Structures are given as structure tokens and as C-alpha cells.
Structure 1
Amino acid sequence: MTKTVTSTLTLSGRKFSKKELIGIQQTIKTFPNLSLTELAQTICEHLSWTTAQSRNKHNACLDALEKLEKLEKLGLVELPSKRSQKKRESKKVVWTEQSQAKPDIDSSLAELGSITLKVVTDKAEVTLWNEYVDRHHYLSYKHPIGAALKYFIMSDHPQPQVLGCLLFSASVWHLADRDQWIEWDKKDREKRLNLVINNNRFLIFPWINVPNLASKALALVTKQIRNDWQTAHGYRPVLIETFVDDSQYLGILLSGSELGMYR
């Protein structure tokens, strides 16, 4: 028997009122044959739990339902049983001639002309970006979870060309050093974690040997990503974090092939 909700609850960065929790209880009772995935979509629609671009926060709701499983023992909810599903396999990235290594470029930054960052949205460009990263990044390509933004690092001299790739996506949930540096508590983090984004792929192609190119790309992205993220996802992040594998890299910006796959 389901007990009566008597307090609010915060799950997946959202505070649920007693009324909303009671509504979730009623939804579960009304639609007992829904899978957890279908239930998450239904709850998002009932609560208007959406992103800034009015898309259902399906993954966040699924995460909340996973946590609600712990409350089943308290009798607050009765979730539908999990259905066995075939494991979803990631689509293999196919390498083509487009992503093959090019002749080495050894030059100064000035000789490349204007350096710009191009947001990658076109389907063909997304496919090429995935291919470049999968082929030339030591961590290969993995589909980002949640909001994300991909860039090509471009130059325009002696002709337009791609020099590398950048990826920014949702930040990890728990990070002690970050939380200590920001000086926020669990409640603050749950409310504002979406304002922190992670640079989880940074690729300068191994045939590019240009001092200060990486620093230039990072300087550009810190100036433009808030507007680009606003356009893509409807809000402006305030903090970028990144990780460096110190068994692979020094954690400093170097030039050319030394930087290579600093990511």
C-alpha cells in the first residue's frame, strides 16, 4: 500500500513539491503497464519538466525514477518492474578518406591567417567530426550524454581548412575538488550544475605543428561558447572544466604535434 507523501523531495537537480510527488504517485497508479522509459516521458509532460528549448528532460527523469526505487521500500511509490531490453550497441564510426592524415603543416600561427571556431550542426559535418575524433583522438569517439556542442577549429590561409576539433558537454555530477573550489553545497549543485560544462574532447590533428594554436583555440572558445550554447540549448553556462590524463600529458599547453591529442 502506498503511503501519503508528507514532504518535498529533490531528485536529479529538481525539487518536487508534495503536490507533484502525489501527482507522480497517481500517474504510476493510472498507467501501471508503462515501462520506466514511457513513464519518464509521461511524467515530464505532466510536470512540464523540460529544457530551455521545451524538450522533455527524459534522462533526468529516468535518473530520478532510479532514485525513487530506493523509496519503494518506504512505501512512497510503487514503480513498474524493469523490462529486459536488448543491450543497445553504439553505431560504429566508419573511417573514410576524408579523415586520413594530411601532409604536415609546420608554420607560425600568423601564417594560417584567421583562426575561427565553427559550430558543427550540419549532418555531414557532424559525421566528419565524429570520424576525425574517433580516428585521431586516443580516447576515440563516444556519444555525449545530454546537452553538447561540437566545434571545428578552422583557418583560412592559404585555403580554408580544419585543424582540429572541440567538444563540450554536460558536466559530471560529483567532483569534490570543483565543489570545494566553487564553495557550493549539495543543494546549490543540484540547482545549478547545468551551468557547468565539460571540455571532454580537444583534438589538434597530429599533422598540425603550429605553436600557440591550442592556446588560441581555447581563448576563442571561452569568448564565444556562452552565446553558442544559448543558441543551441537556451541558456548560458558560466564555468568550463576539463580533465587531463597526466599519464599521457603534462597538463600544459604545448605546440604542434607535442600537443597533438591533448585531451
Structure 2
Amino acid sequence: MEPLIIRNREITAHDLIFIQAVVHEYWDKGRTHISKILCQKWNWVQPSGRLKDMACRELLLTLHRKGLLDYPPPIQKAYNNRRTGPQKIKIDTTPISCNISDLGPVQVKMVRHTYLESLYDSLIDQYHYLGYVQIVGNHLKYMAFSGDKPVACIGWGSAAWAVESREEFIGWTKPVKNKNLHFVMNNTRFLVLPWVTVKCLASKVLSLNIKRISTDWIKIYNYPLYMLETFVEQDRFVGTCYKASNWIRVGETKGTSKKGHKHLKHGKIKDVYLYPLDKNFKRLLNNDTV
């Protein structure tokens, strides 16, 4: 068989024989246990040293769906045989409309692994136009508060795999990008709650978040961030808050998305914005010895 590329890992016919042997050996332990064993045998880990077991499970499931792997059924049936979103949490939606100077102090809190995470998930699911999607891989979630009232949510996840204008701006070759992509984080969600109308609030929240994100990242994942990225859909937004927070527009996407080995045209052109977190970001991101 021709080698397959799944989650940026090449799978050969020899690999399939090895994977199947591991699956059969640990069949009764379940899918999660199997993925962790494979990660250990491959030394497939994140920069923080954590096993890439979520990526490995996706790899195994892809092979199974292609009919290339005998794979045990899931031990637990999730959500009564169907996927459901986060539980809806009701909060006070009394309109907030004022000048930023009259709003009072705004505080940005990191809510991942806290009692507020379920509220974040619920608000994103109910009010963000893209809805809630379970994030695979390293990520952070934040909420902004005015007093005790939530006013915004902002989420960060893994950087996009291939962005031509970003690569040109940084000066990345493909091998160096593959090695250092984890030093870039993507602003995947940004929501000012729909009942909040306060001019300049979005840029203020974004700036407050940027000031703390690298410190929070190091505490959880034990390595720094050197750059942030985001993608602004041209037909929907103009990127005002990113411009006001000194993000750099470096280009636009081609309106395609990757599915397997194919690039599908969806026509949604997005502006590409970057925010360096270190003045030496180009040298750091091009360091092939990191």
C-alpha cells in the first residue's frame, strides 16, 4: 500500500502490522489505553512531554474507517448514542450599554479547568456564530468580567497547519515550520456577549488577554509562545479590534479547507492577522535547534 499521512504522521504497511498487533494485545483495555500504549512505543509526545493520545485515537479511527484496522468498539456510548453540545446555562442578559470609561474595571480570567469552564462552553455554544466545538490538543479559555458580570469569551487553540502569508512573513521553510508550529497559538473564538454594547471593549479584552497568555501557557504546558494568529472572515467582520490592538494583517486565505489529502473550495476568504509576543520572534521561530 502507498504510505498514508494522518495527523502529520506517515503510516506504512509495516506500521499497520505493528499497530494491529498492539491493538489486539490490548483489545480488552479499550481505545484510550491502546492509544496511550502506541504513543509510548512511538515516543509520540507534545513539546510539554504529554502523550499525543487524542491525535493517536484520531489516527486509529481513521485507519478503522478506511477498513485498514480491526479496532475495538468504544467501551462507553457517549451521550445516549448522539453528540450533544454543552449544557445551556442561563445568566442575566440585562443590556449593558455605556462608554468604556463608565463600565468600571474589566478583568480577564483564565477559566479552563475551573468551575467557569462550563459557563464559557455554554455561552460560546449559544451565542458565537460558529458554536461550540470540542478542542483537540493544547488550548486555553478565558472570560472577561465587569464586576461579577461576564461580558466576553475568548478561546485559543493550535495554530493552523499551513498558511502561505504567515509562512512568508516569518520566513519559515516547511521543515522548520513543522518543528516550531507549536510556538504559535490561534485565536479560535472571540465573543462579546450580544447584550453588551460598549465601544472599544473588544480591543481592551484582547489586549488584557495578550498580556497574560504566554505566562498562563508556560504554567500549563511548560513552553513559551512566540506568536498569536487569527483569521477574520471578510464577509462578516473587518477586524477592528485586532487592528486597534496592533495585530498585523499579513494576507488572506484562499477560501479552501483541507479534507484528507484534498483541498475543498468553500469561498470564505479570511484576513490573516498575526501578533508577535517577542521582539525576536522571527529568530526564535526560525531556530531549528529548539
Task: Look up the equivalent residue of 2:103 and give its one-letter code.
Answer: L
Matched with 2:170 is 182
For the residues of structure 2 that align with 1:94 and 1:134, how far apart are their CA atoms?
9
Q: What is residue 109 of structure 2 aligned with on the other side?
A: 118
* Larger relative contact order (CA 8 Å, sep ≥ 6): 1
DSSP 3-state at the match of 1:43: helix
CA contact (8 A) 2:88 2:122 kept: yes
Q: How large is the Cα RMSD of the aligned pairs?
A: 3.5
Q: Where is the strand percentage greater, Structure 1 or Structure 2?
A: 2
Match of 1:105 among 96, 109, 122: 96
> 1:124 Cα shift?
3.2
Number of residue pairs matched by the alignment: 227
Report the TM-score when normalising by structure 1.
0.71
| SS of residue matched to 2:123 | helix
Q: Distance in 2 between matches of 1:232 and 1:246?
A: 34
Choose the corresponding residue for 1:240, options 223, 228, 231.
228
* Cα distance change of structure 1 residues 118 and 177 upon mapping to structure 2, 3 Å threshold: same
Change (3 A) 1:219 1:120: same
1:89 CA drift (Å): 4.0
Contact 1:28 1:39 in 2 (8 A): no
Query: Against the structure 1 CA distance between its residues 233 and 119, is the aligned structure 2 distance closer, same or farther, given a 3 Å change threshold?
Result: same
Query: Which residue number in structure 1 is paired with residue 251 of structure 2?
Result: none
- SS, match of residue 189 in structure 2: strand
The range that moved more, 116-125 or 25-34, is: 25-34
> 2 CA distance for matches of 1:68 and 1:131?
33
The structure with the largest alpha-carbon Rg is 1
Amino acid at match of 2:217: W
Gaps of 5+ in 1: 1-9, 16-21, 70-78, 255-263
1:93 maps to what in 2? 86
Amino acid across the alignment from 2:54:
N
- Counterpart-to-counterpart distance in 1, 2:20 and 2:153: 48
TM-score with structure 2 setting the length:
0.65
Q: Give the partner amino acid of 1:203.
A: L
1:1-263 to 2 correspondences below 5 Å: 28=19, 31=22, 33=24, 37=31, 39-61=34-56, 80-81=69-70, 89-98=82-91, 101-102=93-94, 104-156=95-147, 160-253=148-241
Separation (CA, whole Å) in 1 of partners of 2:6 and 2:88: 41
Query: Following TM superposition, by how much is the alpha carbon of 1:164 offset from its aligned partner in structure 2, in angstroms?
Result: 0.7
Give the whole-Å Cα distance in 2 for the aligned partners of 1:92 and 1:64: 24
Q: How much has 1:93 moved relative to structure 2?
A: 2.4
Where in structure 2 are there 5+ consecutive unaligned residues?
Answer: 243-290
